[in-house]
Amino acid sequence: MLGRTAHGLFWMCRCLERAENTARLLEAGFHMALTRDVATAEEEWRSVIEAFGQRAGYENKHGTYTGHQAWNYLLRDPDNATSVLAMIGAARTNARAVRNAISGELWEAINESWMEISRLLARPLAQNSVGEAVQIIRRAGTVVHGAMSGSMLRNEGFHFARAGTFVERADCVARILDMKYYLLLPSLSYVGTSLDTGQWDQVLRSVSGDRAFRWLNAGRIDARVIVEFLVLDDRFPRSLAFCHTALREELAALARMHGREGESNALMRESATRLSDLTIDGIFERGLHDFLRHFTQANNAIAKGIAEDYRFLS
């Protein structure tokens, strides 16, 4: 397979995953803001924007944080290079470039999602359409993954695409978690209050983890247990542990196909060992924010390693 094609498949899935996660994060922010008064709602929107590292870009454009500005910035603003609209467009451009490496079904799933979402986001969204937009964007992710798993040959292209998905998902989930822990609470004295538990509930919902969490924990809402669930529980498909287990499998499959291991496999092993040695107590002792920052860095290093090992660019 061409290095450029591998690169295209990897980024096709990263962009899709980024679009989906932006929508998920936005949904969490939207629900939190709905239940707050105007002053705190502003804080929450600031946190949402900051979680995706878009504060500078946003503040270049807007002096205040309002919901209308924030969701339109995240979803469709032409000045935001990582808006949902831009990411779906980039995913589709990548898919076009690698069309002969993906199944017709997958191409059509991506192309149709792009057609629907670009129609949906052609104009600024009013409050009462945000919920529907988020649902459609999330569903696009589900349809694409379904098409992939149901129609794609399990060749190296499939593994590059999946590696892109899990690299990006791990990054996004870490950002969502970081937003909650680091940014949302007015002060530490709010830990354990209804504001706190309400926010955790939204974080769970944003990763579709609320129901799974309730099954496992019978109604408890507690920061430690939730963090343990989202970081260490490798049964849940949006936990960091799950993403890195899956990523490690994809990279191992690639190494087997190529008959050699590269830098990315070594980095992956280190990261996996670090995660499996961790306990929830260890994470809190170290500080969640610090842990997440290091996790994100290691995750990025793996992505860079993949690009080098498989000659993504000349």
Partner 1 sequence: MYEADAKFDEMRAEDGSVRPAYRDYRNWYDDQKSNVLMRKHRDAETAFRRTGITFNVYGENEAEERLIPFDMVPRIITASEWRRLTRGIEQRVSAINAFIHDLYHRQEIVRAGRIPERLLRDNPAWLPNMVGFTPPGGVYTHVVGIDLVRTGPNDFYVLEDNARTPSGVSYMLQNRETMMAMFPELFTRIPVCQVSDYPRRLAKSLAACAPAGTTGKPTVAVLTPGIYNSAYFEHAFLADQMGAELVEGSDLRVADGRVAMRTTRGYEPVDVLYRRVDDDFLDPLTFNADSVLGVPGIMDVYRAGGITIANAPGTGVADDKAIYSFMPEIVEFYTGEKPLLPNVDTWRCADPDSLAYVLDNLADLVVKEVHGSGGYGMLIGPAASKRELAAFRQKLTARPENYIAQPTLSLSTCPIFTRSGLAPRHVDLRPFVLVSPDGIEIVPGGLSRVAMRKGSLVVNSSQGGGTKDTWVLKD
Query: What is the closest distance, in whole angstroms, from the C-beta atom of residue 105 to partner 1 in the complex?
Result: 11
Residue 5 near residue 311, CB atoms below 8 Å: no
Query: What is the closest distance, in whole angstroms, from the C-beta atom of residue 167 to partner 1 in the complex?
Result: 17
Q: Please give the structure tokens belonging to residue 309.
A: 């090992």
Burial track 155-169 (b if 16+ CB lie within 10 A, e otherwise):
ebbbbbbbbbbbbbb
Query: What is the closest distance, in whole angstroms, from the C-beta atom of residue 157 to partner 1 in the complex?
Result: 9
Q: How far apart are CA 131 and CA 117, in angstroms?
A: 13
Of residues 60, 187, 189, 314, which one binds partner 1 by CB under 8 A?
314
Of residues 6, 48, 88, 140, which one binds partner 1 by CB under 8 A?
6
Write the DSSP assignment of 127-139 as a string of letters: HHHHHHHHHHHHH
- The interface region with partner 1, picked from 13-21, 123-131, 171-179, 306-314 by CB under 8 A, is 306-314
- Give me the amino acid identity at 75: L
Q: Quick one: 104 or 287, whose CB is closer to partner 1?
A: 104
Q: What Å distances lie between residue 205 and 25, 59, 134, 176, 201, CA to CA?
A: 9, 28, 13, 11, 6
Q: How far apart are CA 208 and CA 72, in angstroms?
A: 23
Residue list 85-114, contact with partner 1 (CB under 8 A): 93, 96-97, 99-100, 104, 107-108, 111-112
Backbone phi, psi, residue 300, to 5°: -65, -40
Of residues 61, 224, 258, 289, which one binds partner 1 by CB under 8 A?
258
Q: Quick one: 240 or 303, whose CB is closer to partner 1?
A: 303
Of residues 2, 81, 126, 191, which one binds partner 1 by CB under 8 A?
2
Query: What is the closest distance, in whole angstroms, from the C-beta atom of residue 89 to partner 1 in the complex?
Result: 11
Q: How far apart are CA 250 and CA 78, in angstroms?
A: 34
Query: What is the closest distance, in whole angstroms, from the C-beta atom of residue 10 to partner 1 in the complex?
Result: 11
Residue 28 near residue 203, CB atoms below 8 Å: yes
Is there binding between residue 263 and partner 1 (CB under 8 A)? no
Q: What is the DSSP letter of 231?
A: I
Q: Quick one: 95 or 292, whose CB is closer to partner 1?
A: 95
Q: Quick one: 111 or 129, whose CB is closer to partner 1?
A: 111
Q: How far apart are CA 163 and CA 183, in angstroms?
A: 29
Residue list 36-95, contact with partner 1 (CB under 8 A): 93
Residue list 111-150, contact with partner 1 (CB under 8 A): 111-112, 115
Q: Quick one: 53 or 104, whose CB is closer to partner 1?
A: 104
Q: Quick one: 6 or 278, whose CB is closer to partner 1?
A: 6
Query: What is the closest distance, in whole angstroms, from the C-beta atom of residue 6 to partner 1 in the complex?
Result: 5
Q: Which residue bears the tokens 């842990």?
A: 291
Q: Quick one: 118 or 245, whose CB is closer to partner 1?
A: 118
Q: Please give the structure tokens belonging to residue 60.
A: 């270049």
Q: How far apart are CA 246 and CA 250, in angstroms?
A: 6
Angle between helical axes of 240-258 and 156-178 (0-180°, round to 10): 160
Q: How far apart are CA 125 and CA 15, in angstroms?
A: 22
Of residues 52, 58, 158, 310, which one binds partner 1 by CB under 8 A?
310
The site for partner 1 (CB under 8 A) is made up of: 1-6, 93, 96-97, 99-100, 104, 107-108, 111-112, 115, 156, 258, 310-311, 314
